[in-house]
Structure formats: structure tokens, C-alpha cells
Amino acid sequence: MARILGVDLPRNKAMKIAIRSLYGVGPKIGEEVLEAAGVDLNANSNDLTEDEVRKIRDALDNYTVEGDLRREVGLNIKRLKDLNCYRGTRHRRGLPVRGQRTHTNARTRKGKAVAIAGKKSIKSMK
């Protein structure tokens, strides 16, 4: 199993798919990196040699991926929160940031509404 930038690549997958398990590497960057490293796009991730893994690591040095990218994104969100701008307040409140409606949707960001325990029994007592 190949380990690149602290991430284990999935076993028994084509390299063009397996390299996408790295944060910040999608289809386009993945193919560019594999071509720069001279690795076949359809090669199995189990069959990588140490030399090929080293070449992939060297090719990834030209891109911002994994820890550096996570840190950069986190700092950008922190900056928005510190500025108290609209997007920063949406991040702080855990609401959608990019203008989506919240009246009926946005369950992923807002969370599921939870019923108040015992509310029904209080009404029936009155």
C-alpha cells in the first residue's frame, strides 16, 4: 500500500481514482500529477514501486494539497469570522454561506430539528 503525504492510497484501484483520496486532488490535478510522474493512469495502486511513489510525491510539491490546503482554508474562514462580514457570521452560526434558502432546506448545515421532550404532556395537563 502506497503512502503519500500521510495518506494511505486505497488498494486495488486505478491510480487516476486512488490519487483523488488526497485532500485537494481532483480529476484534473490527479491526471497532471500522474503524467508528470510518468505513472500510467490505469495502473493498479497495489503495483506501485517505491520509485513511482517518490516521483508522485515530487510532482505533488508543485500543488497546495493536504495539510497546507486544510490550514489555508481554515485560516480563510477564521479571517471572515474575525472581519464580522456576512459570510463570517453565517460560518459562525452554522448556516449556509453561499445564498441558499434556509426556510425549507439546509438540513446539512442547520441540523435536524429536535422535538422538545415532554411538551405534549404539559399541554394535556392544562
Give tens-digit pLDDT for 92-101: 999 999 999 9
Q: Rounded distance, CA 109 to CA 64, Å? A: 27
**Residues facing 44 on adjacent strands:** 14
Q: 121 or 57, which is more confident?
A: 57
Whether residue 119 is predicted with pLDDT greater than 90 in this model: the reply is no
CATH topology of domain 67-125: 30s ribosomal protein s13; domain 2 (4.10.910)
- Closest to 43 (Cα-Cα) out of 76, 18, 14: 14
Grid coordinates belonging to 126:
392544562
How much is the mean pLDDT over the chain? 90
Residue type at 116 in one-letter notation: I
- CATH number of the 3-62 domain: 1.10.8.50
Residue 1's pLDDT is what? Answer: 72
Looking at 30-39, 43-52, 104-113, which range is the least confident one?
A: 104-113
Any idea where the domains of the chain sit in the sequence? Answer: 3-62, 67-125
